[in-house]
Structure 1
Amino acid sequence: MTTPDTESERAAGYRAAYDEQMRDRGFAPGAPDTERVGPVVRRTLPGQGGLILYRDLGGLDGDALDAFIAAQRDHFAARGLPVEWKYHGSDLPTDLPDRLTAAGFTPGERETVVIGEAAEIAGPPGGPPLPEGVRLRDVTGRADLDRIGELAATVWADDRGWLAPALEEWVAGRDGDACVVTVAESLAGEVVSAAWVRFHQGTEFASLWGGSTLPNWRGKGVYRALVAHRAALAVARGFRYVQVDALETSRPVLNRLGLLSAATTVPYVWQPPAGARASTSDTPGVGGD
């Protein structure tokens, strides 16, 4: 087991690699409906709206920063789309959250970026044991992806109609990054949990997403097995790190599995006025969970 000091040093190294390779990327170079505007990358996601990513803001501050934030908001407002500004706790200037709020953005739930060595997270061949009567299966067909959307809608009690089409795009590799989707299902064919991994071309990172699990199957090792399975897939493809933007509900579990907390991030979201939002069919591209 590593000492606290060693863990701190490792987490700092992971954060440096994440900042360099992932902060202003998130999608493969040349992905559809993606453009660089000044220091940020601007992306449109199907059924969800816009996403703004960046490594840093290039020294923008004061009135110039306020005008830049407003311009990004207005770009998506003109299309009737919401937009998420992906803020990290280390971002400068320090009053950036106040400036986003003043521009009409609302902060969402804080997430922790946790990162680990894929080989360590995968563990021994075969992975951790699953509950009796549960198996993992990698899926590609639309029927299975629709079942994942239904599972997520049940777990989160909201509309996840965008999820199956987005997964279909990712599995097809249409934005340049490979993706593998895995379900945990009972012998009766019930999907009890589902998750996916994206392999980010040109980086050392594979990112883990999903993990929604039916309430009566939680605490039985299903999520842990899905994490190990996807880490093993990353190792097999030559990726060094696995990374998760973890809500507080999953961060402690991921920390226990060996992923270290490296950064924090908060989604600041601007919503168009009621009735102004575009339909899903007006929104090209691909999105994430």
Structure 2
Amino acid sequence: MNDTLINQLRNAYDAQLRGVTPPGGSARIEEDGPLTRVVGWHRGFVTGPRDLGVYGAELDRLIARQRDFYAARGEAVEWKTRAHDLPTDLTDRLTAAGFVAEDNETVLIGQSADLAADPVLPEGVILRRVTSRPDLQRIAAMESTVWNEDWSWLADDLTARIENAPENTVVLVAEARTEVVCAAWLVFKEGTDFGGLWGGSTLKEWRGQGIYRAMVAHRAQLAAARGVPYLYVDASGDSAPILTRLGLHEVTTTTPYVWSP
């Protein structure tokens, strides 16, 4: 692996992808010191630059302020951390404030031109772009089945994203007859060199047939055609090996720390 390339990709990630793309709908973005937070989403969200520039007791107060802000709203909040963040004791201080680590994910970045290919799907499966509310609700129902929890909020989230930035949000489904077997979306972040690969969940009985790979290839085609050079993804343990084999590069890891009322 080329360390120079990895450093370049990580630096571009830190420079361009530390903010939050407005999700639309009733959600809004606020700033508190070095932090950016989302209010009015399905749960609160907090992120910041690589180096918060805040230490010790001052950092503890900043963390407590976010926790208490969302507590007053009766909402859970996710604080997105990366493995190379500073200060290095941020996650310890989040834990001390009552935040709980969720599953670690790998941040991968690849070049859209290298990943682009005609999607190859199993017989009887088609790939299409969707925008309608009923289709987005079908995606949410599929995700709820995959993750065995209520993902009904996703229909509202995708609806708001499409309404807010239709040219920057591409939602795709893979269907077998009338059944949604996989869904994924591509989100372009205005003013950056990146498109985000999100979703990609596949029903258990349809895994291992190349559907996820086809979703990546088609989204890469769309990014390359638009002149967006890079694609990035926060990959689960299941997805990371597939994406690495396709040619994406690991630049860091990310762990959400969540506080719930």
**TM-score under structure 1 length normalisation:** 0.86
Alignment of 1:206 with 2:165, yes or no, is: no
Question: Match of 1:55, SS?
Answer: coil
Counterparts of 1:1-289 in structure 2, within 5 Å, are 4=1, 6=2, 8-23=3-18, 25-28=19-22, 32-46=27-41, 48-123=42-117, 127-172=118-163, 174=164, 178-186=168-176, 188-272=177-261
Stretches of 4+ moved more than 6 A in 1? none
Identity %: 50
Q: Which amino acid aligns with 2:174?
A: A
Structure 2 Cα separation of the partners of residues 128 and 176 of structure 1: 23
Structure 1 Cα separation of the partners of residues 50 and 166 of structure 2: 24
Structure 1 Cα separation of the partners of residues 114 and 73 of structure 2: 44
Q: Which amino acid aligns with 2:219?
A: R
User: Is the contact between residue 148 and residue 194 of structure 1 (CA under 8 Å) also seen in structure 2?
Assistant: yes
Structure 2 Cα separation of the partners of residues 9 and 130 of structure 1: 35
Q: Which amino acid aligns with 1:137?
A: R
Instruction: From the superposition, tell whether residues 193 and 29 of structure 1 become closer, same or farther in structure 2 (CA, over 3 Å).
Output: closer
- 1:12: how far off? 1.6
Q: For each residue in 1:166-208, what CA deviation from the matched residue of structure 2 results, as whole angstroms up to 9, or x when unmatched? A: 1111112x1687201000111x221110100101001111001
User: Is the contact between residue 177 and residue 198 of structure 1 (CA under 8 Å) also seen in structure 2?
Assistant: no
Q: Which amino acid aligns with 1:254?
A: L
Residue number in structure 2 paired with 1:276: none
Structure 1 Cα separation of the partners of residues 181 and 160 of structure 2: 23
Structure 2 Cα separation of the partners of residues 112 and 56 of structure 1: 16
**TM-score under structure 2 length normalisation:** 0.95
User: Is the contact between residue 28 and residue 200 of structure 1 (CA under 8 Å) also seen in structure 2?
Assistant: no
Q: Which amino acid aligns with 2:168?
A: A
- 1:9: how far off? 2.4
Q: Which amino acid aligns with 1:18?
A: Y
Listed as ranges, the gaps of 5+ residues in structure 2 are none
- 1:30: how far off? 9.7
Could you say what the CA RMSD is over the residues aligned between the two structures, in angstroms?
1.7
Q: Which amino acid aligns with 2:54?
A: L
Structure 2 Cα separation of the partners of residues 29 and 134 of structure 1: 30
User: Is the contact between residue 39 and residue 56 of structure 1 (CA under 8 Å) also seen in structure 2?
Assistant: no
Q: Which amino acid aligns with 2:157?
A: A
Question: Match of 1:219, SS?
Answer: coil
- 1:58: how far off? 3.7
Instruction: From the superposition, tell whether residues 30 and 60 of structure 1 become closer, same or farther in structure 2 (CA, over 3 Å).
Output: farther
Q: For each residue in 1:211-251, what CA deviation from the matched residue of structure 2 results, as whole angstroms up to 9, or x when unmatched? A: 11111111111000001111111122221110000111110
Listed as ranges, the gaps of 5+ residues in structure 1 are 273-289
Q: For each residue in 1:139-170, what CA deviation from the matched residue of structure 2 results, as whole angstroms up to 9, or x when unmatched? A: 11111111101110111100011011111111
- 1:29: how far off? 11
Structure 1 Cα separation of the partners of residues 165 and 73 of structure 2: 22
Structure 1 Cα separation of the partners of residues 24 and 233 of structure 2: 23
Q: Which amino acid aligns with 2:190?
A: Q
Structure 2 Cα separation of the partners of residues 30 and 183 of structure 1: 22
User: Is the contact between residue 27 and residue 177 of structure 1 (CA under 8 Å) also seen in structure 2?
Assistant: no
Q: Which amino acid aligns with 1:178?
A: N
Structure 1 Cα separation of the partners of residues 178 and 166 of structure 2: 32
User: Is the contact between residue 23 and residue 161 of structure 2 (CA under 8 Å) also seen in structure 1?
Assistant: no
- 1:209: how far off? 0.7
Structure 2 Cα separation of the partners of residues 40 and 56 of structure 1: 11
